[in-house]
Structure 1
Amino acid sequence: MAEETNQEDQMGTTLRISLAQVTSGTEPSDNLKIIDSHAHAAKEAGSSLVVFPEAMMRCFGGPIRGVAEPIDGPWADAVREIAQRIGITVVAGMFTPADEGRVSNTLLVTGPGTDAHYDKIHLFDAFGFAESDTVAPGSEPLTVDIGGVTIGFATCYDIRFPALFQKLGDLGAELIVVPASWGSGPGKVEQWSLLARARALDSTAFVAACDQAEPADAEGAAPRGVGHSIVSSPVGEILGELDATPGLLTVDIDTGLVESVRKTLPVLGNRRQF
């Protein structure tokens, strides 16, 4: 019997989101200007939420300890001011101080009525890069209600771990956003797209994965981004996708589809623990 989802008569909340596929640089103050301009563009597009990539505070490929600031420090406060002034919720990657001289790879989630953060749980110790040398892992999943939609958060390498997305689904996430600075290499773009769709199927939620645009000067093992930001439906349908270059992807999320899929394909309820 074919798997079908009846989308008729499904009442849900619609949330318009934008993914800002940009290239962050080495100067945190310059990156704030990028956030400001693209948050304005997202607001003009009618979005209530704009998602920026991981490492928006400073790109990978150089020292990050020196730029780390507390979650209530001046860089985060500047992002808060942008979000409040424009009237949009902003998700952006930054670095906050952690133990043993390391930092946390942190997502700041801020906007009208919202202020939260998520520390990346799975660290990118792969493909010749050792994120754990300088970054301490987080431990707690995060969901936040934005515009009546429960949103979960993950960062880059987290997307390779289905259990986190299933947990976010258990916590009620209808949309999971994944800021990233994806490492380049053979097959990596294809893996990125496949993983975003697979995690949507695992969690029966929308997945909005926002990567850094592919930089012109990428060298070495540091993950600098490959672009190809993507939004997947709960059944793995691609709702929007960019190429490798900078761009703004705007998509409407209808939570009625999540409710419908979870009734007809209840993988979260059917799964067994081993």
Structure 2
Amino acid sequence: MLKLATAQPSISSDLKKNAARICDLIREAAAVGADCAHFPEAALSGYVKSEIKSWSDVDWEALEASLNEVRACCAETGIWAFVGCNHRHPDLSRPLNSLHIIDGHGHAVARYDKQYCSNAEITDWYAAGNKPITVDIRGIRLGFLICIEVQFPELFMEYERLGVDCLCLSSGPGLKTFRIQCQGYAASNCFWLSYSVPQNASDKQPSCFIGPDGEILASCGCAASGLVLGEIDPTNPKWDIPVNKARLWRRRARIGEIYREHRLKE
């Protein structure tokens, strides 16, 4: 079993304030027994167009220092954190819109780079990532996506093929339908889903934790900062049908062999 805290922090253009709020929520997550904490898109760095008006305004050294503060907090509390933060890659002329995966020792163990950037992002702001990322914590496999990628069902299906138990989707200000889509993806792929948005955008679609049947199990308040705690436990009898029966049946159904003998031949 894995306990995951889905966070809903306020995000500003002040890196120190963002880092302090993220660290506060990591400590709060640790205090309620979480193994990991999940944060929104650009939670540390701020998002382009809203908090960032030009890349020339970004102090990359200060951003790295703030990221180190978050890493130190993970080491202090012993829990993992998945933190939205822009990333400069030495081989690219533009930054990446990333989710930094930090373990309970404060080590950067992986980084998910947004693969399907929005039209505005890819036209004027970001480079794009090129692969899914999974990490295993306490026997539970997690995958990661960012914001507008909620519009691409093939990404969720790929993570199902990779055997994830929980998909963490970090969003910024998005459409009200994003949370509804997340419920649908959780139900159709039979995995848990953590949906994290900033307090700044939570009046439309608060952060929430969704079960493998698509039910919202816990939700942050509208326009409130904070977090909710969810449990991912594939052995719990409550989830026997979606996790142990429906998910395996859908895999077999997609292959098609179970229908071959009884399929219409005309």
What TM-score range do you get, normalising by the shorter chain?
0.7 to 0.9
Out of 222, 226, 232, the residue aligned to residue 244 of structure 1 is 222
CA distance in 2, matches of 1:154, 1:205: 14
Match of 2:250 in 1: 267
Residue 80 of structure 1 deviates from its aligned partner by 1.3
Shift of 1:256: 2.5
The counterpart of 2:210, out of the listed 225, 232, 236, is 232
Q: Which residue of 2 aligns with 1:207?
A: 193
The separation in 2 between residues aligned to 1:205 and 1:175, in whole angstroms, is: 5
CA distance in 1, matches of 2:26, 2:154: 31
The one-letter code of the counterpart of 2:251 is L
Residue 145 of structure 2 is matched in structure 1 by 154
Letter in 2 for 1:63: K
- Name the counterpart of 1:9: none
Pick one of 76, 81, 93 that aligns with 1:101.
93
Mapped to 1, the partners of 2:41 and 2:166 lie a distance apart of: 18
Percent sequence identity is 24
What RMSD, in angstroms, separates the aligned Cα atoms of the two structures? 2.4
8 Å CA contact 2:77, 2:104 repeated in 1: no
Per-residue CA deviation, residues 45-92 of structure 1 (Å, 9 max, x unaligned), is 11011111111123221236343759x943332221111111110111
Offset of 1:166 from its aligned partner?
Answer: 1.0
Unaligned segments of structure 1, at least 5 residues? 1-13, 216-223
CA 1:100 to 1:84, structure 2 compared with 1: closer, same or farther past 3 Å? Answer: closer
Q: Is the 8 A contact 2:170 2:195 kept in 1?
A: yes
Q: TM-score, normalised by structure 1?
A: 0.80
Give the residue type in structure 2 aligned to 1:107.
L
Q: Say whether 1:27 aligns with 2:14.
A: yes
Q: Is the 8 A contact 1:227 1:243 kept in 2?
A: no
Paired amino acid for 2:117: L
Correspondence 1:135 to 2:126: yes
Structure 2 SS opposite 1:121: coil
Cα gap change, 1:135 to 1:227, in 2 (>3 Å): same
Cα offsets for 1:19-55 (capped at 9, x unmatched):
1101111022221101111111011111011111111
Amino acid at match of 1:179: S
The code of the aligned residue for 1:210 comes to S
1:56 aligns with 2:34: no
Greater helix content: 2
In the alignment, what sits opposite 1:179?
170
Q: What is the deviation of 1:100?
A: 5.5
Q: CA deviation at 1:214?
A: 2.8
Matching residue's letter, 1:196: C
The one-letter code matched in structure 1 to 2:230 is V
Instruction: Pick closer, same or farther for the CA change 1:147–1:263 going to 2, 3 Å.
Output: closer
- 1:69–1:142: structure 2 CA closer, same or farther, 3 Å change rule? farther
Deviation of the 1:196 alpha carbon = 0.9
> Match for 1:110: what amino acid?
I
Contact 1:212–1:227 (CA under 8 A) maintained in structure 2: no
Gaps of 5+ in 2: 257-266
TM-score (norm 2): 0.82
* 1:208 positional shift: 0.6
Alignment correspondent of 1:4: none
**Equivalents in 1 of 2:9, 2:153: separation in Å?**
27
Letter of the aligned partner of 2:219 in structure 1?
Answer: E
SS of residue paired to 1:271 = helix
For the pair shown, the structure with the greater C-alpha radius of gyration is: 2
Cα 1:131–1:225, aligned 2, differ >3 Å: closer, same or farther? Answer: farther
SS at 2:22 equivalent: helix
Shift of 1:202: 3.1
